[in-house]
Structure formats: C-alpha cells, structure tokens
Amino acid sequence: MAAERSTTMPAPRRREPRRDYAGAVLLRTRRLVLRGLCLRDAEDISALHAEPRVREHLLEQVPISFLETIGFIAQANHVYADTPGLGVWHASAPDGFVGLFSLMPVVGNEHEIELGARLMPASFGRLYSLEGARALRDHAFTRLGLVRLRGFCHPRNAAVPLIFRRLGFADAGTTEHFGREALAFVLEREAWSARAASPSTANHLETP
C-alpha cells in the first residue's frame, strides 16, 4: 500500500523583530536629554545633515546617504562599547530633536578629546548648544577624569567661539582640522576647576 502524502503545510518561519541599539541615556540637563544613537534616529540625523545652514560651517564630511547614516550610527555604538563615556549623542528637548553632541578623540591625536555639537536650525538661538556642551564638559572632567578638552570650529562660524569662551575655553590660534583651516580652543582641567570654585563667575557666564 502506498504511503499517504501528508497534507500538513510547514508552519511559516517566524520573523524575528529587528533589534535596535539600546540608546542609553548619558546625561540629562534642565531641558535636554543626551542618549546613545539608535537606528530609529536615522531620519533625525539625515534631516540634520541635509540642512545647508548646518553643513556650511562643518569641518568634517558628514553622512549623506541612508547607508552612510546607518554606518555612522553603528560606528557611534562601537565607540560607546570601546571607550565608555565618549561618543556622539542624540539630543532632544520636550519639543523634539535638537541635534548631536559629541566627545570624540581628535583625528591624528587620539590622546586628546574634542567637544563638539551640531544643532538643527530650529534650535538656533535657544542656548541649547551651551547647555549641552556645558554638561559634556563637566562629564569629561568629573566622570572621565580628562586633563583637557579641545574645541575646533570653522573660521567663519561666529557663534561657536562665543560658546567656547563662555565655557571657559581659551583661544589657541588656528590649526588644520579634517584637512581644513580651523580655529582652535583649549580648556585645561586646572582652569575648569578654578572656574567651578567661583560660583559668581559660573552663574554669571553659564546660565542659559
């Protein structure tokens, strides 16, 4: 007798949901939340880097395509794992995405750390850059124990030098950064400590 052919169809394979990165919160300020980059942030990051007013004063190349943006997010998460406390973070306020803040090794000198930020034009003029950078500055000296921080900006960027000076950075002349001419700034730990010990100076210069 011939064996009967089974009419039972194999169960469809269950698709596993795509896993995203953790997006752990690094810092909270009065108005901002800084957290790790996730795949779901690709739209925010792409919108930021598509803004001509953002790109015109950047020194480094930024991801433009979707695949480049995903690679940018993946690389940020490698930095979180390899050097905890350093990286690039998504910043949001109650009304939405603000921009990106970063503490990253200086290209060509990984023993030096650079403080950076790039904000959506809708966030310009609201002192978010000062608020977020100040929190990262203090994180760098208190939690990471750094001896100094570096800062760089495009020579035609009039706003960033004012922010660095309000944070206590000293002018360090001009240099080359990412192959382009840049203004340089530096903040030594001793100068930051002296500044932190003077509440009147801190309150006058740093309140957003």
Task: Provide the pLDDT for residue 12.
Answer: 53
Q: What is the CATH number of the domain that holds 58?
A: 3.40.630.30
42 domain-assigned: yes
Specify if 16 maps to a domain. Answer: no
Pairing of strands 148-153, 180-188: antiparallel
- Tell me whether residue 143 is in a domain: yes
What backbone phi and psi angles, to 5 degrees, belong to 134? -65, -40
For 140-173, the pLDDT digits (tens) are: 999 999 999 999 999 999 999 999 999 999 999 9
**R_g over Cα of the chain:** 22
Query: Is residue 20 in a domain?
Result: no
Asked whether residue 18 is assigned to any structural domain, the reply reads: no
Asked if residue 3 belongs to a domain, the reply is no
Residue 13 inside a domain? The answer is no
Residue closest to 177 by CA, chosen among 207, 193, 157: 157
DSSP letter for 57, please.
T
Residue 103 has pLDDT above 90, yes or no: yes
Q: Does residue 68 carry a pLDDT above 50? A: yes
State the alpha helices, DSSP H only, in 33-87.
42-49, 52-55, 66-82
The edge-to-edge listing of strands for the beta sheet with 148-153 is 25-28, 33-36, 87-93, 96-106, 109-119, 148-153, 180-188, 170-177
Say how many domains are in the chain.
Answer: 1
- pLDDT of 18 strictly over 70: no
CB-CB contact of 100 with 134 (8 Å): no
Sign of the CA dihedral running 70, 76, 77, 78: positive
In a domain, 33, yes or no: yes
Where is pLDDT greater, at 88 or 18? 88
Domain of 72, in residue numbers: 25-206
Q: For 42-69, what is the mean pLDDT?
A: 94
**Amino acid sitting at position 148:** R
- On the question of pLDDT at 16 being above 50, the answer is no
Exposure string over 25-53, b if 16+ CB within 10 A, otherwise e = ebbebebbbbbbbbeebbebbbebbeeee
